[in-house]
Structure 1
Amino acid sequence: MASSRLFRTASPWVLAACAAGVAHAATAPAPTSNPGAGAPFKVVSYSDTFDLAANGTYTRTVHKIIEPLTKNGVQSDGQIQEVVATAMEHFHLVSAKTIAPDGKVYAVTKKDVHTQTAPSAVDAPTFSDAKIVSIEFPHVERGSKLDITYTMHRFQPYFPNEFSGIDAVPPDQLTGHEQVQVRAPASLKLFTSVRGGYRMTRTVDGKTQVITATLIDPPYHAVPGDAVSAGQFEPMFVATTFPDWPALGDAYWARAKAKTKVTPDVKKLADEIAGTKTGRAAMDALYDWTTTRIRWVGIEPGLSGWIPASAGHTLTRRYGDCKASETLLVALLKAKGIHAVPALIDGGSADYQLTHRVNLGIIDHVIVYVPKYHLFLDPTSGFATPGELPAGDVDKPVILASDHSTVSRTPSGPASYVQDTVETIGAKGGLHGHGTIHATGYTDWMMRDLLDQLPKADDGHVVKQVLSGEGLVGSGQFSAPHPDDLAQPFKVTDQWQAPGYYNAGHIVVLRVHKGFGFTTVGHYLASNATPSKRYPVKREIGTMHFMTSLTLPDGYKVLATPESGTVTTSAGRFVQTATMKGHTLHLDQTLSLDRVWYPVKDRTALEALFTKAYRLDRQQVVLEREGAKHQA
């Protein structure tokens, strides 16, 4: 699905970083009296004027001045790139120049302008005609002004007689003056909205209406990595001919409906895949075949971004983008008498709310909805089992496209991660254990996707790295079924050992290590304990359940163990139960979150839950050697 943004545009898993031997750290910027300190560049001014026709075609005239502020800014912004969908628009450079700090002007020449095929167009020329125009500015240094004017003529709209565009300024982009103007026939009904400091005016002069949105010196802030998409809160101006989101669904379906035709080849394949299966079993089989047999290829902006390939076309080539896989699956289901519809969604970022007005830039993905079973299916997910969704699809608004489209929402779960570990501390201070891990929902998808990326020969290295993340020097192995066998439950088994876990002494203090795992509750709690004060945040986990049995060494008396406790806030719940049976400590921990994203008003409850739960998790085991006092 193509993004049509016309202007500018904390995972819980520790295994991925451990496997690569990479540690990630995020440091908040130090307070400063200069609100723009640290910004690599500043958009000094940006002007974008649309001359819009009633049929949805237009010509944009863009003039912007950018000032690099740091060495990195000089490196990254000494050139400007524009993606051009050549089948529907023309790019023309009017002028470009570098104004040096001393006022000297260096013009951009023809040899400084390069056009090349976009990477995705190279990978999928059947679908994409995208080109990248790069304008290289000469003599760029800190304090230079990069001044450029260009036009973009859109001679073919995404949808006939329709228009939708936005102007948005991310909080982490230092901006001075921003103005967008839309000139259109007075008879053309345009729906608009502004937020975050934009001021909008609308005037009519004869047969022309002029809508102007202006933003001056918006606040500059760093956006934390766990924040939802900036599209939910950044300053934004929207102008569109679509009255509402269902109207976009209707427009998409007007083009997509014919593509779901059940050809003889589609019918034959559906019968072969389903065999004697009917109903839900047939649906599962058709979904499994589509998600494992159709290769996904990405698409850049262009007409192909909103017009799917036909089911027959995709069946012949066995590859396509999300729309191609969706259309084929809808046709296969239709061939077996199962009604399904496309569901337009934001699958590429963390947009959990739709904008007030239709913003095509939010919609970048299409999945399938089967009303009879109330199930959403993502045939391009690769590793999501039938009825489950990848993390990027959960708890998202969707437009169910049909002759009478509606707006719905994907489920937020259930999703769980369950780890059961049995450990023993040996007489010489070593720790060894074995365990099992399984998951449901998008956490199951994450596990499958992650393990498919790890070469089997690296299993031992992965275990070593994961143990080191828990402060253990050790080794081991793990095993799991093939990740893309979606018909079978995905269960990981492991065994490992860590010599030198503790040094014998009169008093021994130990933490209850969880051994091998994809994540740990302590790591997850610590890394997410301080949600942003300014922005909504996402927390992709659902339920995390750790069951750990630790057999303590002989010859020691237990002085202290972790306490049992429950932490409950409006954000979720954490339960820890610790019991001793003989020389074995049984520690059961469950963290439950009932949402994927949390607005700012929930910050206090979220912080309290994670902080208090972390304190419980960090409690230790204290042992005293039997007879130690008498010997002393």
Structure 2
Amino acid sequence: MKKQPLQLLIASLWVCIALPSIAQTNHYLTTTLKTQPVINTVSVQTALASSEESPNTAKTQSVIENIRVDNYESSYTLNSDYTYSEMMTQRFTLLTPLGVNQGQRVAKTYYPESQSLELIEAYVIQPDGKKIEVSKDNIFTRPTPESQNAPGFSSSLTTTVVFPQLQIGSEIFVKWKLIQKTPPLLGFNIVDSPSFYAQTVKRTVKIIIPDSLELNWKHRGDYAVTAQTRNRQRIITAVIENQPARKPEAAMVSLIDVSPVFVASSLSSWEEVGKLYWQQEHSKVEVTSEIKELANKITGNKQGREAARTIYNWIAQNINYVAVYLNQNAGYVPHTSTEILNNGYGDCKDYVVLMRALLKAKGMDSYPVLVHWGAMTRKLPLWTPAQFNHAIIYLPEYNIFANPTSEYASFGMLDQDLEEQLVVIAAEESRTAHIPNTIPNQNHYSLSSTVTLLGDGTVEGESELTFIGTINSTIRQIFSGFTTPDQIADNWLAQTPEGGYGNLVVSDVNNLDQPMTLQGKWTSPLAINMGKQTYFSTPLGIDFIHLRQLRKYITSGKRLYPVFVGAMEMNWQYKIKLPQDYKVSHIPGNIDFSNDAGKYTSSYKTDGVYIVVKRHLIINKNIYSPQEYPAFKELMYKPVNDARSVMVLQKLVRGHLQKTLQVSRNRH
């Protein structure tokens, strides 16, 4: 399940969930040796041939090149009905021991109902020039993992070639032939992009098409594209050369956002993508007597928006998710609402179909919506189904987009990596839109802690954590796993300088209509060295968003790519009770800082018995460009450095202690 960038960053550090911005950057093999099922799918019209501004492809000095892409060629020959044959040739050189390991196998996926795949040849050229053919024993065709995990949703097969006797300097070569036997449901589409992680010497895409067929193409970046007509055929060739290997940055946007890309499509618009999907989907929305009975049971006496909310909650929490993203090669064909209800499971398309059927049973209109769920923030240069990997729902009467696939998100509350995304609202007359983005105070985290510092340096505390907005789905997911709340508390405390152990009381994770709250008690034994003068920073205790961890967003040197953070507002308050035999001799100064990226304030006050620390951080927007990053970096340094701010206590002599105690009694 995907999560919001900032919340998932913190969760990744404390409960072992990966950073989305890193997890969503394609794995090395996906972008080099595998055939990139999305980045190398299949669609282009010369009237729209043009180029967008080139993304930043500067090579960073610290990149270690493990594999070099010496040549990649993909040639498509189209028939009059948009069926086609594809010849693909790949040649790589293995440069390091890791490259040898990664180059051990190459794989290509196909869909046997509509495609056939043949391995033409595969071999290795050793550094001494020796050629080793790949034997049949080293070629395997198996169901893909999604086919095994989701029977009835995908029947794709993957052919894998395992290369023998590899060593540093080996060249591997493979040639495939794929035939598209039936006209693609969503037309002919290609999205091509060179590897991000490996140097690409040359990459070529060629399309041979009857001149009577419509085909659009467009590119951004360093592709050189030519088109010519010969013998009643058009030949479009896109070539990109000498692309360096690049290094990803923490919390960056999707790789495709910052890479050269060539797109070709037989479709005429984004709206046509939606119309084609609608033609596959709308007949699946069956309102049977069973569906009507279930809709009435779910909604009870509720009407309108509240009835829609209860239907959404039921779908999100009662239908099991089968994780199959939309894939244009398999078509965008969901199951019927009856099948989904009987099965009790489905993918994103099916969630939407069943919810639409239940809404229709209650007289409410809705539409399926195609969207990208992830860190791809820049639309492709030309309309293509490859823009989308997910389906959600739109309720026009209430102007609400909802994501029933996200079992932890409230009705109408979308993850931040869905915000601002281009969507196609699918219908007979489809239209495009953009999902609204939230503002910081709609995504709010608040911590209130009462802390007691004992004379031996042990710290005891009680914390209350509250969550508003999209962050709730992150918290619900964390506390819906196998790890107990007390184990999570201990994990969080283990990431603080003080350490310790604790327990948590958690509100109902299954109540999607109420924000999550946590109450925790914790102890950090002997966390502070007490002496005549005692120096300590604010004890963090049980805290979901740890200020020190914001350093993960701070990179040295110039940033090349946008950083995906997530607009948010955060408050922390600590009331620290001091040992009786100490007085405060120093507290940090207050901070009041703001710039275009956001705002950070903090204050420290003491009455001799307590020190009260208040901190407030606002991150203004989801994404900061490289040009905006210096301001964002300056903002991040404020809380990171403030978390290290030191308070100083002075141990009192007996007479001074008695006087201090008397003053304290008078005050309280």
TM-score, normalising length: structure 2? 0.87
2:559 aligned to 533, 555, 562, which one?
Answer: 533
Q: Quote the residue 1:174 is aligned against.
A: 199
Match of 1:4 in 2: none
Evaluate the alpha carbon distance shift between residue 460 and residue 276 of structure 1 in structure 2; reply closer, same or farther with a 3 A threshold. closer
Corresponding residue for residue 473 of structure 2 = 445
Separation (CA, whole Å) in 2 of partners of 1:287 and 1:130: 31
Q: Which amino acid aligns with 1:455?
A: T
The answer to whether the 8 A contact 2:468-2:515 is kept is no
Correspondence 1:355-504 to 2 at 5 A: 355-413=380-438, 414-456=442-484, 459-504=485-530
Which residue of 2 is the match for residue 515 of structure 1? 541
2:85 is the counterpart of 1:59:
yes
Give the residue type in structure 1 aligned to 2:591: G
Q: TM-score, normalised by structure 1?
A: 0.91
| Whole-angstrom distance in 1 between the partners of 2:424 and 2:486 | 45
Q: SS state of the match for residue 567, structure 1?
A: strand
Q: Measured at CA, do residues 303 and 325 of structure 1 come closer, stay the same or move farther in structure 2, by a change above 3 Å?
A: farther
2:360 corresponds in structure 1 to 334
Contact 1:395 1:596 in 2 (8 A): no
For residue 271 of structure 1, the aligned residue among 296, 299, 311 is 296
For residues 349 and 98 of structure 2, the distance between their equivalents in structure 1, rounded to whole angstroms, comes to 38
Q: CA deviation at 1:319?
A: 0.5
Note the C-alpha offset of 1:318: 1.0
Query: What does 1:157-306 correspond to in 2, within 5 Å?
Result: 157-159=183-185, 162-299=187-324, 301=327, 304-306=330-332
Alignment of 1:576-595 (within 5 A): 576-595=602-621
Deviation of 1:241 after TM superposition, in Å, equals: 1.7
Residue 468 of structure 1, CA deviation: 2.4
Q: Post-superposition shift, 1:591?
A: 1.5
Cα-Cα RMSD: 2.5
Counterpart of 2:32?
Answer: none
> How far did 1:410 drift?
2.1
Asked if the contact 1:415/1:443 (under 8 Å) is kept, the reply is yes
Q: Which amino acid aligns with 1:419?
A: L
Instruction: Report the more deviating stretch, 284-293 or 539-548.
Output: 539-548
* Distance (whole Å) between structure 1 residues aligned to residue 478 and residue 99 of structure 2: 34
Moved more, 323-332 or 588-597: 588-597
1:16-64 Cα offsets, whole Å, 9 max, x none, are 543459999x9xxxxx999796122111100000112242221110011
Gaps of 5+ in 1: 1-9, 27-31
- 2:113 is aligned to 87
Q: Is the 8 A contact 2:547 2:639 kept in 1?
A: no
Count of aligned residue pairs for this structure pair = 611
Instruction: Quote the offset at 1:214 in angstroms.
Output: 0.4
- Cα distance, 1:237 vs structure 2: 0.7
Displacement after TM superposition at 1:73 (Å)? 1.3
**Mapping for residues 121-132 of structure 1, pairs under 5 Å:** 121-132=147-158
CA drift of 1:582 comes to 4.7
Alignment partner of 1:63: what SS? strand
Shift, 1:332, TM fit = 1.1
Task: Give the superposition deviation at 1:560.
Answer: 2.1
Structure 1 residues 157, 622: closer, same or farther in 2, change over 3 A? Answer: farther
Contact 1:15-1:466 at 8 Å conserved across structures: no
Q: Give a deviation string over 1:545-582, Cα, whole Å, max 9, x none.
A: 21222122223222222322222121122122333345
Per mean C-alpha deviation after superposition, the further-off stretch among 495-504 and 272-281 is 495-504
Aligned residue runs from structure 1 range 614-625, under 5 A = 614-625=640-651
| Paired amino acid for 1:530 | T
Deviation of 1:338 (Å)? 1.8
**Cα 1:193–1:571 shift into 2, 3 Å:** same
Task: Go from structure 1 to structure 2 and tell me whether the alpha carbon gap of 1:158 and 1:14 turns closer, same or farther (over 3 Å shift).
Answer: same
Deviation of 1:305 after TM superposition, in Å, equals 4.6
Rounded to whole Å, the distance in 2 between the matches of 1:294 and 1:23 is: 27
Which structure 1 residue ranges, 4+ long, deviate > 4 Å from structure 2? 10-13, 19-24, 32-37, 300-305, 627-631
* Partner residue, 1:102: 128
**Bigger shift: 551-560 or 307-316?**
551-560
1:343 aligns with 2:339: no
1:390 shift after superposition: 3.0
Tell me by how many angstroms 1:79 deviates.
1.1
Counterpart residue type for residue 190 of structure 1: L
3-state DSSP of counterpart to 2:381: coil
8 A contact 1:13–1:519 mirrored in 2: no
Distance 1:79 1:11, change over 3 A: farther
The residue aligned with 2:580 is: 554
Q: Report the equivalent of 2:666.
A: none
CA–CA separation in structure 2 for the residues paired with 1:165 and 1:428:
67
- Deviation (angstroms), 1:592: 1.4
Distance 1:153 1:35, change over 3 A: farther
